[in-house]
Structure 1
């Protein structure tokens, strides 16, 4: 049986997924209200400072797990903030599990989107362009990174959906 924290979390990530699919954006008000709800529910259900540290550790874990992807322009800021909100609800260990599963689901979604749109060749070319300098550096040949030309992106991935699916799976597996 799901407890109140898990039920509210599932409702919030489902709303984030629907909004991300429809508008390609996750509203800050959804993230902030989720963070506050998680804090209130942890404080009401716990003892002394333990809920606050659990909430803080989870939200920081969720945030910093996806921050590198945002800095590399592989993910939008709303997705990083959504992962921080998920971490605030589930704690740091489950946030790591959700992030790992999100990465797998996001990868499958990316491949399916490339195949569906017929732009898999463009995606492969972009990946090759980005990774080639890194590969040459491994062999000791210093090269500068080559940025992609503007307009060569093959599209964005609605990671809000991947985060929602991963969160639901981790919550469901916890009750197995």
Structure 2
């Protein structure tokens, strides 16, 4: 049986997924209300340290798990903030599980989108362009990162859907 915090989280991530699919944007008001709601629910839960250990640590973990992808321009800021909100509900350990599963689901979604759009060659070229300087730098060669050319993106992806599916799966599997 799902507890009330999990039911509210599932409703919030479902709304984020629907909005991301329709508008390719996750509203800040949804993220902020989710963060505040999670804090209030943890405070009402009765555990003395829950706001610190679950809410704060979970939201920071969720934020920093996807922040590198945002900084590499592989993900939008709304997706990073959504993951922080998910972490505020479930805590840092489950946030890590959700992030790993969301990455796998998102990778599969991305591959399917590239195949169905017929843009897999451009996508592969972008991966090589981003990875080559990182690989050469790790081998000791002093190189600057080469930004992608303007318009080199092969399209956006509603990553909120991947986060929502991963959240629902992790929460459901916790009750197995």
**What TM-score results when the alignment is normalised by the length of structure 2?**
0.95
Secondary structure at 2:80's aligned position in 1? Answer: helix
Correspondence for 1:52: 51
Cα drift, residue 46 of structure 1: 2.0
The CA distance in 1 between the partners of 2:135 and 2:82, in whole Å, is: 33
The CA distance in 1 between the partners of 2:138 and 2:43, in whole Å, is: 49
Q: How is 1:131-150 mapped onto 2 (pairs within 5 angstroms)?
A: 131-150=131-150
Equivalenced residue count is 175
Q: How is 1:105-144 mapped onto 2 (pairs within 5 angstroms)?
A: 105-144=105-144
Correspondence for 1:90: 90
The CA distance in 2 between the partners of 1:139 and 1:77, in whole Å, is: 31
Cα drift, residue 27 of structure 1: 0.4
The CA distance in 2 between the partners of 1:83 and 1:9, in whole Å, is: 11
Output one character per residue of 1:72-99: Cα deviation in whole Å (capped at 9) or x when no partner: 1111111111011100100010000000
Correspondence for 1:8: 8
Q: 1:123 to 1:51 in 2, by over 3 A?
A: same
The CA distance in 1 between the partners of 2:72 and 2:139, in whole Å, is: 23
Q: RMSD of the TM alignment (CA)?
A: 1.2
Cα drift, residue 130 of structure 1: 1.7
Q: Does 1:35 pair with 2:35?
A: yes
The CA distance in 2 between the partners of 1:163 and 1:15, in whole Å, is: 12
Output one character per residue of 1:87-139: Cα deviation in whole Å (capped at 9) or x when no partner: 01000100000001011011001100000100000111111122222333344
Correspondence for 2:67: 67
